[in-house]
Structure 1
Amino acid sequence: MTFVMLGCALPAYKVWWPFFVVLFYILAPIPTLIAKRYTGDSGSTSNPCLELAIFITMGFVVSSFALPIVLARSPTPTPVIYPGACYLTLAGNVIVYLTLVGFFIAFDQEDADYSMW
C-alpha cells in the first residue's frame, strides 16, 4: 500500500487515479474465499465452483495490473498518470498479491490449528 500511496501523493505526480487499484485488492480474494467455504472435498481433481472463483479472481488481478498501464499510456496530450506513478503502483500490486498468496498458502493447511478460515 505504501507504493500505491507514493504513486498517488508524491509532489511530482499529484494524481489519485492509481488509488482505484485498492478496489481490486478488496475484491480479488472474495470469490476464492466464498468458493473454498462452500465447496466440499468431492474426491475429484476438478471442482467447477472453485475453478470459476479462481478465474474471477484472476480477472481482478489482471485488471489491477492493467489499470495503471492503461492510465499511463492514454493517448491524450499528457498521460492521465505519469510512468513513475505507474511503476510504483505495479510494485505495490506485486507486493499485495504476493501477500495474498502467502495468506492462502499459510491458512489452507489442513493440519494447522488455525485453519478455521
Structure 2
Amino acid sequence: MSVKGLVLLALSGAAALTFLMLSCALPEFGVYWPLFVLMFYFLAPVPMLIARRLGADMDSTSTACKELSIFFTTGIVVSAFGLPCILAHAGVMQWGACAFVLAGNVIAFLTILGFFLYFGQDSDYDFQRW
C-alpha cells in the first residue's frame, strides 16, 4: 500500500465523523449526547497497542496478553454500539440520530481496523512499532 491507502483511511475517518456530527447537528435531532461515542473511538485501539508493545518479544501466535486485549477491545466496540441504542430507547435522542451514530461507528471501527492492518504489515519503513 502507498499514499492511496493513507488517503483512504483519512477519508473514511472523515466520513465516520461526518455521520457522528450529523446525528448531533441536524435540527430535528438537536442533542449532543452522541458525541460520547468519541470516547470509545479513542479507547478502542489502546488495548491492542499495549498488547503489541508488551508482546513484541514473544514469538507465540496467541498469548494471554493478546487474548485479553482482544477481549477488552471487543467490549469497547460493543459498548460503542450499545450506548446510542440505549440513549434512543430511553428517549434521550431520536432513532434517526441513533442510525447516524451506528453508521458512523461501522465506518470508524473499520477505519481503525484498516489502520492496524496497514501499519501491521512488514514494510521498508519502521511503522511496525505503532
Code of the aligned partner of 2:63: N
Could you say which structure has the higher helix fraction?
2
Structure 1 counterpart of 2:106, from 91, 94, 101? 94
Residue aligning to 2:4: none
Residue aligning to 2:128: 115
Structure with the bigger RCO (C-alpha within 8 Å, sep 6+) is: 2
List 4+ stretches of structure 1 deviating above 4 A: none
TM-score by length of 1: 0.90
Structure 1, residues 90-115: CA drift from partner, whole Å, max 9, x if none?
00000100000000001111244233
Residue aligning to 1:58: 74
1:1-117 map, 5 Å: 1-74=17-90, 79-113=91-125, 114-117=127-130
TM-score by length of 2: 0.82
- Aligned pair count? 113
The change in CA–CA distance for 1:31 and 1:40 in structure 2 (over 3 A counts) is same
Cα RMSD (Å) of the superposition? 1.3
Q: Tell me how far apart the structure 1 counterparts of residues 58 and 39 of structure 2 sit (CA, whole Å).
A: 33
Unmatched runs of 5 consecutive residues or more in structure 1 = none
